[in-house]
Amino acid sequence: MKLSPAKSIRGSVTVPGDKSISHRSVMLGSIARGTTEIHGFLEGADCLSTISCFRHMGVDIENKNGVVTVHGKGLRGLSAPSAPLDCGNSGTTTRLISGILAAQDFSAVLTGDASIQKRPMGRVMKPLREMGASIEGRDDNFCPLTMHPSELHGIEYRLPVASAQLKSAILLAGLYAEGQTTVIEPAPSRDHTERMFRALGVEIETNGNVITLEPPEDLHAVDIAVPADISSAAFFLVAGAIVPGSELTIRNVGVNPTRTGILDVLRSMGADITESNFRDDAEPVCDLTVRHSRLHGTEIGGAIIPRLIDELPVIAVAAAFAEGETVIRDAQELKVKESNRIAAMVAELTKAGVD
């Protein structure tokens, strides 16, 4: 692939569906009672791994003409898989399904590719064990994870880091637990799980950084429209901001406040971004228009990091085109993603002449 500089970037684009919401829609649709139609599902390998795992637990899932239809089995209707569940390269699949499997009346093994088998799972195993789960892992921290039948009880758990995956694993286990489950976050992380719970009839309350869940009798299926993924839109936002003469609209983007740190940071750097056609149906959605502007450096760290953790690599690209110095702190989570994304950005931007 050979790229040449663009004179400008103009027009409109629709990016693929939100990855986080796509994962959760299949998971919750599978354990809800009734049929869930998912529109805008992200047809990426990670989300397809989630579909595969639930098919292996007896859930009938159709994927036709851009619509995924999940025929839910109810909260306690999953079946024992006949082989290990392969999560591929998906950390979201691995960690969130752990919360569901911890409460089942059958044993199951979770595994994935070589990358997944190096990613830490101990931080998920710890609270699930406190809830009564029986989990074994390689070196007590890595996949394959083996889950044995357990009866869970609710706990109050203070997260060591702001992590939507860890929070969601605990809340998913809380669906099956006896008594109330409470999670306390050090800073707000993406809240797609809580929003989808409410849509499915689960009694869940958020008070600041404290989330409290009452276990339901069952979940009731609803159709889900997946908005365009702001993590994918981020690349177009940066492109429009840094290429002179550009004006670009990205349509139907999910602008959940727990995910819009990228907009806050780009605007703090001087980017010209406007929102239009706003609507709110479980998840807030709008069209984003970006126009070229002169960017300047900024400092990024603290509570905003969980709201833009996946966008930090492309923010580094914006920083390379901005006047002055940009400093990013508290981004250590990027070291334990599918790759060490900090090292990757340093290596590749250095090749392009960036300091």
Rounded to an integer, what distance in angstroms lies between the CA atom of residue 9 and that of residue 31?
44
Bridge partners, 34 (sequence order): 72
DSSP code per residue over 287-337: EEEEE----B--EE-GGGGGGTGGGHHHHHHHHHHSBS--EE-S-GGGGGS
**80: Cβ contacts below 8 Å, ≥ 6 apart:** 57, 104, 106, 107, 108
Q: What is the pLDDT along the chain (355 residues), one digit of tens a residue?
A: 999 999 999 999 999 999 999 999 999 999 999 999 999 999 999 999 999 999 999 999 999 988 999 999 999 999 999 999 999 999 999 999 999 999 999 999 999 999 999 999 999 999 999 999 999 999 999 999 999 999 999 999 999 998 999 999 999 999 999 999 999 999 889 999 999 999 999 999 999 999 999 999 999 999 999 999 999 999 999 999 999 999 999 999 999 999 999 999 999 999 999 999 999 988 999 999 999 999 999 999 998 998 999 999 999 999 999 999 999 999 988 887 778 899 999 999 999 999 9
pLDDT of residue 269: 98
Catalytic annotation, pick one of 223, 281, 310, 355:
310
72 DSSP β-pair partners = 34
Task: Using CB atoms within 10 Å of the CB of residue 349, give its burial: 0 to 12 exposed, 13 to 18 middle, 19+ buried.
Answer: middle
pLDDT of residue 13: 97
Q: Exposed, middle or buried, 131 (CB in 10 Å: 0-12/13-18/19+)?
A: buried
**Under 8 Å between Cβ of 211 and 197:** no
Residues 74, 80, 86, 87, CA torsion sign: positive
Alpha carbon distance 233, 253 (integer Å): 7
What's the pLDDT score for residue 337? 76
This model's pTM is above 0.85: yes
d(C-alpha 112, C-alpha 115), whole Å? 8
pLDDT of amino acid 207? 95
Rounded to an integer, what distance in angstroms lies between the CA atom of residue 200 and that of residue 226? 15
Q: Label residues 252-272 b or e (16+ Cβ within 10 Å = b).
A: bbbbbebbbbbbebbeebebb
Residue with tokens 């409410």: 198
Cβ atoms of 37 and 67 closer than 8 Å: yes
Question: Residue 310 catalytic?
Answer: yes
Is there a contact between 134 and 143 (Cβ–Cβ < 8 Å)? Answer: no
